[in-house]
Structure 1
Amino acid sequence: MIPSPLCPAFAARLTPLHLMQNFFGAIGRWYDRRTARFNRPGALRHAAWLAPLLFGALSLLLGQDNNWDLRNYHLYNAYALLNGRIGFDLSPGQWQSYFNPTLDLLYYGLNRALPAPLAGFAMGALHGLNFVLVLAIARLLLPAPDAADRHRLPLLLALAGTLGAGFLSELGNSMGDNMIALFVLASLYLVLRHWPRWRALDRGAVGWLALSGLVMGLGTGLKLTNATFALALCMALLTMGGSWWQRLRLSLVYGVAVLAGLAATAGHWFLRMWQTFGNPLFPQMNDLFRSPLALPVGVADTAHLPHGLAEALLWPFIFTLDGHRVSELVMRQLIWPVVYLLFIALALRLVAGRLRSAPAPASAPASAADADGRTRFVLVFFALGYVGWLKLFGIYRYLVPLELLAPLAVWLLLQRLCKPALARRAGAWVLTLCAIVVFPFSTWGHSGWTANGFSADDPGLPDPAHSLVYTAHGDPPMGWMATLLPPQVPVVALAGGFPESPAYLERIRAIAASRSGTHYVMLIGAANHEEITLEKKNLLVSWLGQTGSDAGCARLERMMKKVRFHVGVEMLAQPDGPRCRLELLPPYRMDLAARNLEVQQKAAQDLQRYGLHVRLDTCRVHRAAIGNEPYPYQLCEVGP
């Protein structure tokens, strides 16, 4: 038999490498076809309108915001500012009670003015504006890709940016990092949008640069963790083209504008803290300002910083493998090792080019030079922002502004490191994988919606104008409950993590002496959250018709033995009505009275060092809730 000349060629197509290339090529072509609809001029405009609405809808699906910081101080701080309680209360939200509440006013105001679901939608939609800004930045940095990607590429990169683990974890909630990212991205956009003006630095250019710095400063005043990005952008301006004096002027104009913005949103609070406590950052940095009402310590969270140089150099890999190093909440992500490796590769290429003393490239047209300058500027800003975060904080959620830009940074780095076709394929696959890994994403806590997001029963204090309420634990936080008590009652935190000084303890005694009525301690009440789901499960099986007959109950019992619902079937002896119901299994039941007594006894022990005695026989439990999740509280009388 004579072998066919086609056989070797056919066999070559069966090699693993060739099969893999065909497989990925087919998927790539399918992907191009499926996303072709995004490559129309109107697609970007429609996406810019629709994306915030979609993120608002996603916020609705997630439910009522119920994060720990909200319960501790976000709600309380805005309430305290608007109701003149600075100095009237004493740290109900622990030492965070004295953070600038200006940013929290938006969340507080929305929840006061709107039903809770509408407020949640509005917060999600506002956070969704980050998509619009990343889209606008991407369009400036990708001015002339090939026709197949002219409109599609910026849109997909903006989508990838908003599918980050940190951004999604805070969608629609009060924590502020998503909201502050709007200021960082808007400032960066203004610098890139008016890029050609910086060569001349005329009066118009100074105005636009000052506006950019002002926007960044406004965000920094609202949340001081933004200072790393303000400093990074200011330093990145020093790397632009032109003379050293021109670059210094750019940086100075921007920096002064940042300070003006910071003063606009934080100046009033710094002044109030200085006048009230003698420390504009009270109680932080009290080792410097020495306010008598707090110990002379720094009060800074350093638990999330890397330990030593080796960890710092490997930090993206470390916190990707062990998310608890940078967050209490574990977030799955791969984007940071990818972008870190690409930055290292670019740095090595630049060093190698310098060592080879390669000849300078021929001068490019002004448009190409502007595009290259913008790209270089963004990458420098990104790198400096990361280094600042690594040095000062190490807390993942403070990285949200850079996380939103990370897919764009990956794309820009690949374009500099690889040939265009390879960069396109690698970028598509890597960024798709990074987006998929995030799901299902974690959040900082939600409960079911109710019309009024925060509610509590009136404790019925007989003389609130002369009463006093203490709190005796920092976790679970009780700051939000201070907003629901009668407004005449001051709330004073004890044993809650505040760096108490002798003068602080003296202030507590002075407040107590001024209140001639009954004094109370407010404690968390026990709640079995399994009982909430039990009610829903009983409603469901009743609706399905499984509880009305012995046969249905038998089916239900067999089903419960096969699935882990934490419940079993309890037969009912009543002649009419349902024949059975679901009941919690023994491991998931809770003796609420015993749990409440444990909390009372712990509080009694802690309050002894303040010279206070808890009268355990007076403790009463009252209803409170965030959304549909119960957070009952106890009030117990205290005395000397």
Structure 2
Amino acid sequence: HGWHSVAVAIVLAAAHSLSVGLLYLVAYTLFAHLPQRDRCMFSCIAAALGAATGVYWMTVGGSFLDPLLAPPMLAGLLLLLDDARTARRAALAGALLGAAAALKYSNAIFALALLPLAFVQSRRAGFAYVLAGAAAVALFAGPWFALLQREFGNPVFPLANAWFRSPDALPINLIGERFALSDPVALLAFPFRMATLDPSVYAENFAPDLRFAALFVTLLGLAALAAGRGTPAVGALRGADWRVLAFFAFALVLWLATSANGRYGLVVLLLAGVCLARVVERTLPARAARVALAVLLALQLAATFLASPPRWFLAESWSRHWFPYVVPDRALREPALYLTVEILPMAVIAPFVHPASSFVNFRGQHSVPSDSPRLAALLERHRGHVRVLGRELDEKTADLNLRRLGYRVEPSDCFAIPWRPDDGDAISQAANWLAGERKSSEPLSMTSCALRPAPRDPGEVAEEGRISTIFDRVEKACPKLFRGLSSVTEPFTSGWSRYYAGLDARLEAYAGRLSLNRYRADVQIDLGLLSDWERAGHPCPAGS
């Protein structure tokens, strides 16, 4: 029956908390020149400042990979701070960073950021780092790459499909521009905007961060102080300082260039506090530095606890099981193809149904083309046992979403998969009392209904083809808007649309007009009349 959900969370939180200990050890290395008492005090402040980010605490004890993979990356950095400069330490650092990258691809930028530190030690250490990292990737991700290559013809499916050309996804390279910095002004403003209550700057939730603005200003102050003394700034910092700051700078640049998503850059957020503590200690007298850091820590903690939620968006009450779904016997006995038609794939239910079942997120964050060979094979394999699955499933909406596949809901053949927390035990009750009995408003119960064939109207098929041609023209004519992305044409109320997850935008054809709806930014970009785009070579409207 598995572990209690509270026990699972405790084990995960313990693993996540290793980051705080490693921050202390990194700081302890940087403050080696101080007397023992001051060294311990500054190291504690630095570790506390490093952990004082809402992004970290919102994920602690949860199932996100980001806080679980931050400790091996911090450990890799710590290994390369030692003056021993042995190839063995570099190899171990490479293995740790390679494993982190293999288990979550976005961590590859941090493995790259640490590479110069290995080569600075010696050429042998650099090659040891690279070889060990490659071996770790082969060990942890190699089997998965091979499986994806065999099944889809793309070892990183659905990523980089403009290069691998799997027929089961659109031939595009997926990007994420939600937090992208558009120009140098936005880059300079970024550390200061992080301190605001704006969830569109770098985090998917409220997580104001004062530390980056403070670090930016303090670095300028350190440079000015060094210039005033007539000595270069290099004289104020030591070898380990430069290694940490170099990794932090390389990692920061790569993170901002690739996503600027706070969760993906958690190791950068954690190290920011350590770097800040070190630069402040170098800039101010010891007593003033301790006071300044203590005040900043208090302000950052206050901002975090007042503005940031203690847990992520979806925070359910504690119960005996992590996923307390009650699955009917029929789902356990009968294999089926489950089609999901919402942004989330709802794959969480996969372990609870018949093991021969299949899942396709047909209309979701990255909708599947209706002519996908893999989808056609699954439909044939599960002929007569094709079902739709979703939360708050609405027959009319599901029929609209499934229309392009030629299916509709059979309302007489449905079953519920309720989310039923088993929270009557003492541990769950105690945990819920401590948590304040907070419950999420997010619907978690699911419904599954059988689907029956519903041949499409030939006129609608022709209209979809016409709209798809127009959408293709718009994407090619407006590269600054669409960034080389494309998507699947789908019915949308009484019109048509294409959804671009990486842009947080939707191209809409409605009432004879075209528009790009950037729904998160609440911006509607008018692209003109549909009839104008019927002509090949129509230009993108000025200002778009």
Candidates 83, 94, 98, aligned match of 1:217: 98
The answer for the alignment partner of 1:166 in structure 2 is: 55
Point out the structure with the larger helix share: 1
The separation in 2 between residues aligned to 1:360 and 1:309, in whole angstroms, is 26
* 2:48 alignment partner AA: L
The separation in 2 between residues aligned to 1:452 and 1:359, in whole angstroms, is 55
- 1:97-136 pair list within 5 angstroms: 113-136=2-25
The answer to whether the aligner puts 1:266 opposite 2:141 as a matched pair is yes
The answer for the alignment partner of 1:3 in structure 2 is: none
8 Å CA contact 1:343, 1:413 repeated in 2: yes
Q: Residue 605 and residue 472 in structure 1: after superposition, are their counterparts in 2 closer, same or farther (change >3 A)?
A: same
The answer for the alignment partner of 1:280 in structure 2 is: 155
The secondary structure found in structure 2 opposite 1:397 is coil
Q: Residue 462 and residue 341 in structure 1: after superposition, are their counterparts in 2 closer, same or farther (change >3 A)?
A: closer
The answer to whether the aligner puts 1:339 opposite 2:215 as a matched pair is yes
* 1:485 alignment partner AA: V
Q: Deviations over 1:449-486 (max 9, x none)?
A: 111121323334389546432222224x5221222223
The separation in 1 between residues aligned to 2:232 and 2:159, in whole angstroms, is 51
The separation in 2 between residues aligned to 1:405 and 1:447, in whole angstroms, is 31
The answer for the alignment partner of 1:455 in structure 2 is: 324
Q: Residue 299 and residue 464 in structure 1: after superposition, are their counterparts in 2 closer, same or farther (change >3 A)?
A: farther
The answer to whether the aligner puts 1:601 opposite 2:477 as a matched pair is no
Q: CA deviation at 1:253?
A: 3.1
Candidates 511, 515, 524, aligned match of 2:382: 515
The answer for the alignment partner of 2:261 in structure 1 is: 395
The secondary structure found in structure 1 opposite 2:52 is coil
The answer to whether the aligner puts 1:385 opposite 2:262 as a matched pair is no
The separation in 1 between residues aligned to 2:414 and 2:143, in whole angstroms, is 41
Candidates 352, 356, 359, aligned match of 1:488: 356
* 2:341 alignment partner AA: A
Q: CA deviation at 1:386?
A: 0.8
Q: CA deviation at 1:387?
A: 0.9
The separation in 2 between residues aligned to 1:136 and 1:392, in whole angstroms, is 29
The separation in 1 between residues aligned to 2:397 and 2:8, in whole angstroms, is 37
Q: CA deviation at 1:374?
A: 0.6
The answer for the alignment partner of 2:46 in structure 1 is: 157
The separation in 1 between residues aligned to 2:268 and 2:281, in whole angstroms, is 19
8 Å CA contact 1:466, 1:516 repeated in 2: no
* 1:401 alignment partner AA: V
8 Å CA contact 2:53, 2:207 repeated in 1: no
- 1:192-231 pair list within 5 angstroms: 192=81, 194-195=82-83, 197-198=84-85, 205-231=86-112
Q: Residue 349 and residue 232 in structure 1: after superposition, are their counterparts in 2 closer, same or farther (change >3 A)?
A: farther
* 1:342 alignment partner AA: T
The secondary structure found in structure 2 opposite 1:408 is helix
The secondary structure found in structure 2 opposite 1:447 is coil
The secondary structure found in structure 2 opposite 1:323 is coil
The answer for the alignment partner of 1:639 in structure 2 is: 452
The answer for the alignment partner of 2:406 in structure 1 is: 611
Q: CA deviation at 1:189?
A: 1.3
Q: CA deviation at 1:518?
A: 3.7
The separation in 1 between residues aligned to 2:288 and 2:315, in whole angstroms, is 42
The secondary structure found in structure 2 opposite 1:616 is strand
The answer for the alignment partner of 1:560 in structure 2 is: none
8 Å CA contact 1:463, 1:517 repeated in 2: no
Candidates 419, 422, 438, aligned match of 1:624: 419
- 1:360-439 pair list within 5 angstroms: 372-439=238-305
* 2:354 alignment partner AA: P
Percent of matched pairs sharing the same residue: 27
The secondary structure found in structure 2 opposite 1:398 is coil
The separation in 2 between residues aligned to 1:463 and 1:138, in whole angstroms, is 53
Structure of greater Rg: 1
The secondary structure found in structure 2 opposite 1:174 is coil
The separation in 2 between residues aligned to 1:280 and 1:157, in whole angstroms, is 41
The answer for the alignment partner of 2:486 in structure 1 is: none
The separation in 1 between residues aligned to 2:333 and 2:339, in whole angstroms, is 13
The answer for the alignment partner of 2:201 in structure 1 is: 325
The separation in 2 between residues aligned to 1:117 and 1:130, in whole angstroms, is 21
Q: Residue 263 and residue 353 in structure 1: after superposition, are their counterparts in 2 closer, same or farther (change >3 A)?
A: farther
Q: Which ranges of structure 2 fall in alignment gaps of 5 or more residues?
A: 424-438, 454-544
8 Å CA contact 1:464, 1:489 repeated in 2: no
8 Å CA contact 1:134, 1:161 repeated in 2: yes
The separation in 1 between residues aligned to 2:206 and 2:19, in whole angstroms, is 23
Q: Residue 358 and residue 146 in structure 1: after superposition, are their counterparts in 2 closer, same or farther (change >3 A)?
A: closer
8 Å CA contact 1:619, 1:636 repeated in 2: yes
The answer to whether the aligner puts 1:175 opposite 2:64 as a matched pair is yes
Query: Please, which moves more after superposition, 417-426 or 291-300?
Result: 417-426
The separation in 2 between residues aligned to 1:385 and 1:299, in whole angstroms, is 21
Q: CA deviation at 1:420?
A: 3.2
Please give the TM-score of this superposition, normalised by the length of structure 2. 0.73
Aligned pair count?
Answer: 431
The separation in 1 between residues aligned to 2:184 and 2:42, in whole angstroms, is 37
Q: CA deviation at 1:348?
A: 5.3
The answer for the alignment partner of 2:347 in structure 1 is: 479
The secondary structure found in structure 1 opposite 2:387 is strand
The separation in 2 between residues aligned to 1:610 and 1:280, in whole angstroms, is 27
8 Å CA contact 2:161, 2:173 repeated in 1: yes
8 Å CA contact 1:625, 1:631 repeated in 2: no
Q: CA deviation at 1:360?
A: 9.8
The separation in 2 between residues aligned to 1:325 and 1:359, in whole angstroms, is 31
* 1:420 alignment partner AA: A
The secondary structure found in structure 2 opposite 1:402 is helix
Q: Deviations over 1:523-554 (max 9, x none)?
A: 213xxxxxxxxxxxxxxxxxxxxxxxxxxxxx
Q: CA deviation at 1:309?
A: 1.9
The answer for the alignment partner of 1:234 in structure 2 is: 115
Please give the TM-score of this superposition, normalised by the length of structure 1. 0.62
Q: Deviations over 1:322-346 (max 9, x none)?
A: 2322222111221121122223444
The secondary structure found in structure 2 opposite 1:330 is coil
* 1:131 alignment partner AA: V
The secondary structure found in structure 1 opposite 2:264 is helix
The separation in 1 between residues aligned to 2:70 and 2:449, in whole angstroms, is 43
The secondary structure found in structure 2 opposite 1:491 is strand
Q: Residue 343 and residue 255 in structure 1: after superposition, are their counterparts in 2 closer, same or farther (change >3 A)?
A: farther
The answer for the alignment partner of 1:540 in structure 2 is: none
